[in-house]
Amino acid sequence: MFFIGPRIAKGLHSSPCVIKFFMKKVLMIGLSVLFFGSFVLMLRTGKEMTGDVQIRGGSSMEGIRILQKKNGATVWTLTADKADFTEGDNKAKLSNVRMMIPKNGLVLHADKGTYDLSDKSFKTECIVKADTKDYNIVADSMDYDVSSGKIRTGGQVKLESKRLKVEGKGMDADQGEVKVFNDVTATFNKK
């Protein structure tokens, strides 16, 4: 058995010990409130960023993915290995581009393309391949109009399906309907 003498017992409840105990508690609570407040402030400032992305100097991003949605449904998805931005320009130069349009099952492939950040459109000036379950298209360039969903080219185009091969210059494609405008050559396969 241990015996605590009257002198030690009196020391535990003396005014200096009680004050030290409460000062430690107040200090811990104050530091906790300060830490929590600064943590909330850090989180809040990250959420307040709104507006357009401003590019300063030459910048690039790797592995980008851009989604266009309407009423919660994905209208198209654009992916690229790399995007290069130029200061003062609202365009991103893309490399190794793939664009999927789920509505009509169309998948576009191009080595290079340009995405306009201001009007959210996509354009390529190099050979582009488009594949669906019913036909394949190869064109020397392509513009995709976001508002109408139309794909257009003014250059050479070749369209192939199981029973048809069409070549010409200039094309509009919309909702599964394809129109080739000039120098059209069509070949039908009997199968």
pLDDT tens per residue, range 77-131:
889 999 888 777 888 899 999 988 888 788 889 999 988 878 777 888 899 998 8
Residue 30 domain-assigned (yes or no): no
pLDDT for 187 beyond 60: yes
Residue 7 lies in a domain: no
**Residue 65: inside a domain:** yes
Indicate whether 179 belongs to any domain: yes
Q: What percent of the chain is predicted at pLDDT more than 70?
A: 70
Please check whether residue 86 lies inside any domain of the structure.
yes
Tell me the CATH number at 85.
2.60.450.10
Q: If you search the block for the tokens 């039908």, which residue do you land on?
A: 188
Residue 151: which pLDDT band, with cuts at 50, 70 and 90? confident
| Domain assignment present for 36 | no
Tokens representing residue 25 in the block:
């508690």
- Position 34 pLDDT exceeds 90: no
Domain hosting residue 149, numbered range: 59-188
pLDDT of amino acid 82: 92
pLDDT at site 76:
82
Structural domain count of the chain? 1
In the chain, the amino acid numbered 14 is: S
Q: In whole angstroms, what is the distance from residue 100 CA to residue 109 CA?
A: 9
Give CA angle at 4 (14, 7), nearest 5°. Answer: 40
Mean of all residue pLDDT scores within the chain: 77
Q: Give the model's pLDDT for residue 129.
A: 92
Over the stretch 45-87, which tens digit does the pLDDT of each residue have?
444 434 444 545 578 888 988 888 888 888 888 899 998 887 7
Tell me if 88 is assigned to some domain: yes
Q: In the chain, where does DSSP find H-type helix?
A: 6-12, 15-47
Whether 5 maps to a domain, the answer reads: no
Would the pLDDT of 152 be above 50? Answer: yes
Q: Please tell me the predicted confidence (pLDDT) of residue 158.
A: 93
Across-strand partners of 107?
A: 100, 131
